[in-house]
Amino acid sequence: MAYSVNTTPLLQNGINSDEEEEVQHEVVVKDDKPLFKPLEPRDKFNVAYFILYFLGIVSLLPWNFYVTADDYWMYKFRKVSKNSSYISTDQRTPLQAEFTSYLSLASSLPNLVFLALNTVISHRISLNLRVIGSLICMLILMLFTLIFVYVDTDSWQQTFFGLTLLTIILLNVCSAIFSGSLAGVVGKFSAKYITAVTAGQSLGGIFAALAQIAALSIGASSTHSAMVYFIIGNLMIGLSIFLYVFLEKSIFFKYHVENCVGVDESQDVVAAVRSSYKIILRKMWGYGFSVFVIFAISLAVYPGVTVLVESEGKGHGNRWNDVYFVPTITYLLFSLGDYVGRIISVKIMKPKNVTLIILLSLARFIFIPLLLLCNENPRHNLAVVFDKDWQYIMIMFLFAISNGYLANLTCVLAPRAVDVHEKELASIIMTVFVGLGLTLGSTICLFLVKII
């Protein structure tokens, strides 16, 4: 829209006709802003909400399936003998004992690097290219993982170990670009939609744990179970590509992404970049530090340490103790607690005081010694203090629910601490703090496993 400004002086006495011709002219001022702000479109049938939920599940899907396929990795890295299908957990090989902690580190390091890189490239590479490109690469890598399920790797376990870690690194490069882009965009939406993504990440863990338990209950072998995990993973990633294409064409999605003021996504992010990282960090550093602490503490013991915890009744012929305890308590209970914590946080939304949130995040440090003193095997140095199953279950549930509650609370409150044009970049910066926490926690986990 354009309008004109008349620059003719109000008092014209003393001005002759020649002067008047010189003075009288119009200055055209271009105004791109609409006169009235458009009404926010409705999310009919909560379609956008459920798609974002599903994308949240997929964002951590490779991690969830790799971690919960524990029996498969124990089989691949077992001590090869005549009875090559037997997996001994009484005396794990070095590759078996250390695989989960190396998995955490191989996930968190590239995750951190590319989450940080995402803050730089987000305004240079289109959102669609970042999201769809990363999902396609994830699909290819998951197909590669599926192929190796039935490849005999007994004679080259060390090489397969390295190849697996390389695949995990590449998967997490793609996952970081995808999840960072998703977090940046959803930061422009209300708390309901932010929670859809974060809760979806927890729901993915629940889904993966239930899939593992179901496979165990029907007596499927470790390789058959892994094949099912990875096929489901490939199907879900493929579906997410089509769902995202559908979502990004919706009016509801475009309204929030473009802020409904005629400013496109790239202009929005560039404006945030120009406003300076320092200014944004000054506004939200407390939330960033909190989420860093939360994930550093969690990854220090989960899953690298907790996967080693055994039931007090293991070895007495009870399937609950021997088969179902680890997938149910270590994986399913944690994912359930984390999910419940995230759902509760958006209902309560307290505390909002950033100092109190920091103190509560630091208080979770108590879970590290508590979990180290549970019934891990193998152990060489520390004594077992909490040898009862109910003790471990209580500690694990409180550990999980506090992780979900505080993590979601910080992710919802952080975008509110900055201006509208800074929300996307602020949400992306929050994912970098998450990556920092994951990396530090995974590194600490390597040492904790060795000192148990």
Q: What is the pLDDT of residues 120-133, one digit of tens each?
A: 887 788 899 999 99
Asked whether residue 14 is domain-assigned, the answer is yes
Range of the domain at 236: 2-36+45-82+93-451
Asked whether residue 204 is domain-assigned, the answer is yes
Asked whether residue 347 is domain-assigned, the answer is yes
Asked whether residue 298 is domain-assigned, the answer is yes
CA dist., res. 265 & res. 347, Å (int): 30
- Report how many domains make up the chain: 1
Asked whether residue 258 is domain-assigned, the answer is yes
The total of other beta-carbon atoms located within 10 Å of residue 189's CB is: 24
Give the chain's radius of gyration (CA, Å): 26
Torsion, CA 421, CA 195, CA 61, CA 243, rounded to 10: -70
More confident residue, 393 or 66: 393
The percent of residues in the chain predicted with pLDDT above 90, rounded, is 51
Question: Are the CB atoms for 77 and 157 separated by under 8 Å?
Answer: yes
Q: How buried is residue 140: exposed, middle or buried, by Cβ count under 10 Å (0-12/13-18/19+)?
A: middle
More confident residue, 68 or 364: 364
Choice among 74-83, 165-174, 223-232, 320-329 with the minimum mean pLDDT: 74-83
For 416-446, the pLDDT digits (tens) are 998 887 887 888 889 899 989 988 998 899 8
Amino acid at 129: L
CA dist., res. 287 & res. 434, Å (int): 11
Asked whether residue 206 is domain-assigned, the answer is yes
Per-residue pLDDT band for 22 (boundaries 50, 70, 90) equals: very low
For residue 61, give every residue at least 6 positions away whose Cβ sits within 8 Å of its Cβ, in sequence order, or none. 204, 208, 233, 236, 237
More confident residue, 76 or 83: 76
CA dist., res. 239 & res. 242, Å (int): 5
Asked whether residue 87 is domain-assigned, the answer is no
Torsion, CA 308, CA 338, CA 418, CA 353, rounded to 10: -100
Asked whether residue 88 is domain-assigned, the answer is no
Which CATH number fits the domain that encloses residue 262?
A: 1.20.1250.20
